[in-house]
Amino acid sequence: MPIIVNLDVMMAKRKMSLNELSEKVDLTLSNLSILKTGKAKAIRFSTLEAVCKALNCQPGDILEFQEEEETD
């Protein structure tokens, strides 16, 4: 998938654990883990907003678009 989730990078920069972020954004650890590992198929804007507020960052700090290389 061409969308890369850099949640773990932002959490490390802010020195915030998954447990702490889970409490701040009111998401279960399992749902946050799915998002962190890039296995989520979608994210609600309200969730993205809560994560950005908790980590004091922009959506682009968490989500990145990367073109997939074509194979012949």
Per-residue pLDDT 10s for the chain (72 aa) are 689 999 999 999 999 999 999 999 999 999 999 999 999 999 999 999 999 999 999 999 999 999 877 776
- CA 22: distance to chain centroid? 12
Domain assignment present for 33: yes
**DSSP letter at 63?**
E
pLDDT at 22: 96
Residue 70 lies in a domain: no
Q: Say what the pLDDT of residue 1 is.
A: 64
pTM as predicted:
0.86
Residue 7 is assigned to a structural domain of this protein: yes
Q: What is the CATH number of the domain that holds 30?
A: 1.10.260.40
Q: Reduced to 3 DSSP states, what percent helix, strand and coil does the chain have, rounded to the nearest 5?
A: 55, 10, 40
Domain count for the chain: 1
Domain that holds residue 47: 3-65
